[in-house]
Chain A
Amino acid sequence: MNEKDLGKKIIEKIEKKKIKPKPKWEFLLKDSVLWFFVVLTVIVGSLAFSIIIYMIDNNDWDLYDHFSDNYFGFILATLPYFWFIVLVLFLGLLFYNFKHTTGGYKYTTSTIMLSSILLSVILGVLFYNLGFAQEFEDLLADNVQPYKDLVKNREKVWTQPEKGVLAGKVVVIIDQNNFKIIDLNKNEWQVLASNLRQQKCPHIQEGIRIKIIGQKITNQQFEAHIIRPFFKEPPRIIPFGIRSQQFPVMVNCH
């Protein structure tokens, strides 16, 4: 086929099949959807990282001997595996989505992966400081049943009065050294806190969640040696309206 024939044949085919160029908006839409998913995966990945920081920060590393025979065993038992899996999954999705953007092919796998990790770390630290980790984690724990079960399992570690650990919500205050809590199994405990071995204590108020290291006296009485807020207040600069959880104020122990 000569040059003239081929060109003519193509134009004839275009006319016969009534082929039209696809409209520009179709390509713009496709690109926008892809970029939307890139941004979404960045945000979810960063949130996952912020929750990892939040959980590691609240892991009570100094109390490991109450939960495990050795430090390494404690680390293995308490790492937030679920959020590590979420982070890796969303980093993978971010990589996939970014590679499929118009210019994504120009970057090497290692450049994209390192940038994604760096971005997730930076945004994760920022989200943590803004208090998003706490808010998002609470939102999931309150509304998503499988996650609620996962959280319960983690919190069960703190409901072993025989081993000297107890956690729950303050329900009745007699004074700062004598108050009642409801533990995660809905049992009521009287907490005696006149023998604390710490300098700073959470100011006991109704509704706050605390964790206690101490000694079971009876089936309803527990002597506290160390009291801590269940979750530390993250160093956040979030507007007041979004704070959904009550954090205890730290004061000198009585």
Chain B
Amino acid sequence: MSGKILEKTDQELVALALADQKDFLFLVKRYQNQLIQYICRISNVAKEDAEDILQEVFLKVYRNLNSYNPKLKFSSWIYRITHNEVISAYRKKKNRPQTIDLDLDFNLIETLADDFDIKEKIDQNFLKEKISQVLLKMDHKYAEVLVLYYFEQKDYQEISDIIKKPKGTVATYLNRAKKQFNKILTKENIKFH
């Protein structure tokens, strides 16, 4: 992406895309990596399927560009569309993920490990696998809130805008998600060492 384009805000890129459809490419490039990671984190689809979902997301984004309200962060809006698309993909398949590709960087894992009192020095890949196991066993709505908060690093307001729930509900979900995470750790006897 050229330097000039990199400096442009999301809203400016939306305006460019509305003026010339080829410029929509700039928005695709800005968001495709983080969205593909997000899709993989909250679903069990293979990389190819995740890319199909992502394509649908971008087509939907393009069709609905005029409905984007600048009062909302563009990233929240595009994450919301992705969240909806993943849910509709679930419904089509009528099943829950069997494995989750967390695709996390190690700093994010450490943030989560700190919050959950996982203090032992353990191998990061091993930890990643264990976290995936726990997330899989959680209710989807709680697992997704954990993913958005810890791995996508969204704040309460952004999560509220993405999953379309009040901020208070997001806080409740996060609280319950942490409890459920710990409960599954204990119940399944998942050890980090």
Contact = CB atoms under 8 A, between A and B. Distances in A.
Contacts of A102: 69
Interface string B89-102: 00000000000000
A8 to B, nearest CB: 8
A3 B51 contact: no
Interface residues of A, number: 26
B169 A7 contact: no
Contact of A105 (B62, B67, B164): B164
Contacts of A3: 29, 32-33
A13 B55 contact: yes
B67 A27 contact: yes
B63 A21 contact: yes
B166 A11 contact: no
- What's the interface size class on B, roughly? 20 to 34
Given A7-B32, A19-B59, A1 B64 contact: no
A21 B27 CA distance: 15
Interface string B140-175: 000000000000000000001000111111000000
A106 B21 contact: no
B127 interface: no
Interface string A11-49: 101110101111110110000000000000000000000
B191 interface: no
B41 to A, nearest CB: 18
Smallest CB-CB A-B distances: 9 pairs: A105-B164, A27-B67, A24-B66, A21-B65, A7-B28, A108-B166, A10-B58, A7-B25, A21-B66
